[in-house]
Amino acid sequence: MPPQSETSEGKTKVEPGVLKLFTWEEVGLRTGKGNFKEERWLVINRKVYDVSQFYLRHPGGPRLIRHYSGQDATDAFTAFHKDEDLVKKYLNSLLIGELTPDQPSCEPTKNEMLVHDFHELRMKVKKMGFLKSSVPFFAFMFLHAFLLDMASWFTIWYFGKSWVPFLIGVAMFTVIQYAFFQHDLGHISVFQKPKWNRLAHTFVMGILKGGPKAWWTDMHNQHHAKPNCFLKDPDLNMHPFLFSLGKSLSVELGKKKKKYLPYQHQHKYFSCEYFYGRFVSKNDKDNEKNCKSFLIVLFLKITYFHRFLESTWFLWISQMNHIPMNINYDQNLDWVSSQLSATCNVDHSWFNDWFTGHLNFQIEAVIHHMADVNLFPTMPRHNFYKVAPLVKSLCAKHGVHYECKPILTAFADILHSLKEYGQDWQEAYLHELGVGDVQTATERQ
């Protein structure tokens, strides 16, 4: 069947109930830009779907599905949707055709053999039961966090308001790790049914953590879908207003003569945490005579100090896997290549696993972000280390770099990378580097 015709306005005529054949070139034009601003298509298992209107109603957020406009979304779709029967009712109404028989199963920018082997690995992992969660493991994670929560408040209440019990209580409150547990729930990796994960996620994130669940889900899913892709990964929104990230992006920023902050010093101010406000003002001391006012002041003390410690902790944990890796515009690589180029692992050990909430297994996780860049986003974290050897073998077979490093090296690489990006920006800003110079600067690093 020949490719479908187009109207004079550039909008494709799609007859209801009639499936047509398309090429990758035709699909690639439907990104919501250029001559087809009203059209957004994507491909899942060689089927072509029109999401021009649906993306606004997408349960996972409009940005997530929009990032795959004009591309093959098969691996991302499989990784993010655990209940296949549930999504079929949406897909059937969006189907407009399929790829022509002479078209390859993936786009020219992707490694077809690697994609094929990854699909086989995914099936193998599923058959081996690595996608099933352990109830005792997650029960322990929640109970130990809840008990620490209660113990921290009890310590402060029972032993008084002096600095020693206060600091002990805050320390226990900080290591609770509700943040990592809500991360598990957000990736649908605790319970088998997505509904129970979402309900528990609402409770942990919204009540125990006091943060908006919808905001986390939307931002985090985008990050995993397109890790380290500028304008698509929200974790890179700090570029260029706070930091200059990535070699090519830094050079581009410098050549445009843009400077919002002294990026050549960004590795220095990254380490600085600005904590505004005081725990207790002079007037607060007078209010401590009132029990209600004292409890409010005490709560604010604990909350501010805890947030400061936890945010600093999570800042280093979340960035050690990504900032030192490739940061650029979306290159539309295959799922494995895009995830591995944008993330790295940290050595497996009892302490590292606990301290990072198993986010040291960013490659296997597809949990930290489908994309914190993970190959299996719904896999429970207690199985990450079991799958790692299989992923390493896949990478070795196809010559894909699988990077794993000690945790202190990972922290140091954040600063080293920021320093290098700052130097690239400064060099381009001052000397207007040409193409050859950019390549030389990249080779130098």
Q: For 152-171, give one letter per residue: b (16+ CB within 10 A) or e.
A: beebbeeeeeeeebbeebbe
Sign of CA dihedral 331, 413, 209, 177: positive
Whole-number pLDDT of residue 297: 61
pLDDT of residue 3: 45
CA angle 45, 93, 192 (to 5 degrees): 65
Cβ neighbors of 384 (< 8 A, separation 6 or more) are 358, 361, 364, 365, 367
Residue 283, pLDDT score = 42
Distances (CA, A) of 95 to 56, 70, 364: 17, 14, 31
Whether residue 240 has a cis bond before it, omega within 30° of 0: yes
Task: Report which of 272, 274, 187 is spatially closest to residue 224, judged by C-alpha positions.
Answer: 187
Query: pTM for the complete prediction?
Result: 0.76
User: How far is Cα 50 from Cα 53, in angstroms, rounded to an integer?
Assistant: 8
DSSP symbol at 32: S
How high is the pLDDT of residue 365?
Answer: 60
Residue 15 one-letter amino acid:
E
Q: Measured between alpha carbons, how far is 383 from 381 in angstroms, rounded to an integer?
A: 5
CA distance 121 to 114: 10
- Letter for the amino acid at 179? A
Question: Which segments of 110-248 are extended strands (E)?
Answer: none
Q: What is the DSSP letter of 12?
A: B
Q: What is d(CA 340, CA 99) in angstroms, rounded to the nearest whole number?
A: 28
Give counts: helices (H), strands (E), the chain.
20, 7
* Cα 220 off chain centre by: 5
Please report, in tens digits, the pLDDT of each residue of the chain (445 residues total): 444 444 434 566 666 566 789 999 999 999 988 888 889 999 999 999 999 999 888 877 788 888 999 999 888 887 777 667 778 777 888 999 999 999 988 888 888 888 888 888 888 888 888 888 888 999 998 998 889 889 988 888 888 778 888 888 888 888 888 888 888 888 878 888 878 888 998 898 888 887 777 777 778 878 888 889 999 998 899 999 999 999 999 999 999 999 999 999 999 988 764 333 333 334 444 444 444 455 566 666 677 777 788 888 888 998 998 999 999 999 888 878 888 888 889 999 999 998 998 888 877 764 333 333 345 556 788 888 888 888 889 889 988 888 999 999 999 999 999 999 999 999 999 986 444 454 444 444 4
Own/partner pairs, 285-288, CB within 8 angstroms, 24+ separation: none
User: Cα separation of 326 and 236, whole Å?
Assistant: 12
pLDDT value at residue 249: 96
Q: Which positions ≥6 away from 309 have C-beta within 8 Å?
A: 170, 174
The predicted pLDDT at position 254 comes to 95
Answer for the pair 148, 180: CB distance below 8 angstroms, yes or no.
no
